[in-house]
Amino acid sequence: MTSGMTSNMTPGVNKATGKPAIISMRNLRKSYGIGTPVETEVLHGIDVELAEGEFCALIGPSGSGKSTLLNLIGLLEPPTAGELSVAGQSTTGLNEQALTVLRGRHIGFVFQFHHLLPAFTALENVMMPAIIAHGVATAQDEAVAHDLLARVGLASHEYKKAGQLSGGQQQRVAIARALSLSPRLILADEPTGNLDTHTADDIFALLREFNRERGSACLIVTHDPRLAARCDRRIELVDGRLAASTSVAEPA
Ligand code: ADP
């Protein structure tokens, strides 16, 4: 139990949905340039819970702290203060190795500039998280990768190099890759930001489909109000704080 927790916040359980929380944040803060003359706090105490299976948009103006928050939740950067739990486990004091294990076990990433390995095939890219996690891709990992690529409509492109695919196709590969280890949470930073409207809608629909089918929670940074409106809930940041319209755990 953390010191800042109030009585209506049962740890690990989302107050509104009654479901376990996949992510729980208490008074999360992030500063850059600590100890330098340009030290700046960019997140000023964030309290949010995301329930298992929730499909949630993270919105707010440019510079409001959305990517920073996603990086903290994805265990890519440490918070400066506050408490962050992933799948019920507090991340405070965990070393890099433990964070990597927690990240690999529970979180899939879909970023705008997909970070695929361009010289590797679509299939190899989708198997990459398994290779990183187990040192080798098993026949089972390969079967999962084939299945996911078929599901995102790329069965006939499996053996093409990622660098030879279109932007929309690469983003489909990125989604298949994010799902390859069946994460309980998908973090997507502007997953449709560089795509035309039609392709963006397709990619968004895929995320929604996997959310409904597999129960993976999704937190999606988007500037597109149309897409945000189609999420179950919107978390809004303004200048590093939750906007008044965003409640701790209330679906929209
Ligand atoms: P958003 O994703 O909403 O556009 P960001 O999280 O990228 O916002 O940035 C929030 C604030 O933090 C901005 O003022 C940005 O300049 C600052 N910031 C982000 N990353 C760094 C960093 N590595 N070092 C210093 N400042 C940063």
Report yes or no on 159 lying in a domain.
yes
C-alpha pair distances (Å), 249 with each of 10, 48, 75: 12, 7, 21
What's the half-sphere exposure (Cβ side, CA atoms, 13 Å) at 190?
Answer: 13
**Cβ of 64 less than 6 Å from ligand 1:** yes
- C-beta of residue 40 within 8 angstroms of C-beta of residue 240: no
| Ligand 1 binding pocket includes 68 (Cβ within 6 Å) | yes
Closest ligand 1 atom to Cα of 240 = 10
Domain tally for the chain? 1
What is the Å distance from ligand 1's center to 243 Cα?
17
Instruction: Output the domain CATH number for residue 135.
Output: 3.40.50.300
175 located within any domain = yes
Q: Distance of alpha carbon 28 from its chain centroid, rounded? A: 17
> Who contacts 60 (Cβ-Cβ below 8 Å, separation ≥6)?
66, 236, 237, 238, 243
The yes-or-no verdict on residue 99 having pLDDT over 90 is: yes
Residue 19 lies in a domain: no
Residue type, 62: S
Answer yes or no: is 242 within a domain.
yes
CA of 236 to the centre of ligand 1 (A): 16
Per residue in 201-228, pLDDT (tens digit) is 888 888 999 899 999 999 999 988 999 9
Note the pLDDT of residue 5: 39
Mutate to test the pocket of ligand 1, among 28, 31, 42 (most ligand atoms within 8 A of CB): 42
36 lines ligand 1 (CB under 6 A): no
Is 63 a pocket residue for ligand 1 (Cβ < 6 Å)? yes
Q: Does the predicted TM-score (pTM) go above 0.75?
A: yes
pLDDT of residue 95: 95
Average pLDDT over residues 70-93: 95
Task: Tell whether 145 is covered by a domain.
Answer: yes
Q: 250 falls in which pLDDT band (50, 70, 90)?
A: very low
Domain that holds residue 146: 53-77+95-247
- Cβ-contact 77, 14 below 8 angstroms: no
**Closest protein CA for atom 13 of ligand 1:** 63
pLDDT at 180 over 50: yes
Report how far ligand 1's centroid is from the alpha carbon of 63 (Å).
6
Ligand 1 center–CA 204 separation, angstroms: 25
Q: Using a 6 Å cutoff on CB, does residue 31 contact ligand 1?
A: no
> Residue 165 and residue 154: Cα distance in Å, rounded?
10
Task: Round the average pLDDT of the chain to a whole number and report it.
Answer: 88
Q: Is the CB–ligand 1 distance for residue 106 below 6 Å? A: no
The answer to the question of residue 139 being in a domain is yes
Distance 164 CA to ligand 1 centre (A): 32
Cα 160 to averaged position of ligand 1 atoms, centre (Å): 35
Q: Is residue 155 part of a domain?
A: yes
| Closest atom of ligand 1 to CA, residue 70 | 6
Is 217 among the domain residues?
yes
Phi, psi of 17 (to 5 degrees): -95, -20
Task: Describe the chain by its helix, strand, coil percentages, rounded to 5.
Answer: 35, 25, 40
Looking at residue 199, what is its pLDDT? 81
Distance from Cα 65 to the centre of ligand 1, integer Å: 6
Q: Give long-range contacts, CB 8 A cutoff, 24+ apart: 60-68.
A: 60/236, 60/237, 60/238, 60/243, 61/238, 64/237, 64/238, 64/239, 64/240, 65/30, 65/237, 65/239, 65/240, 66/189, 66/221, 66/237, 67/189, 67/221, 68/30, 68/42, 68/43
Atom of ligand 1 nearest to the CA of 62: 4
Listed range (7-16, 82-91, 165-174, 208-217) with the worst mean pLDDT: 7-16
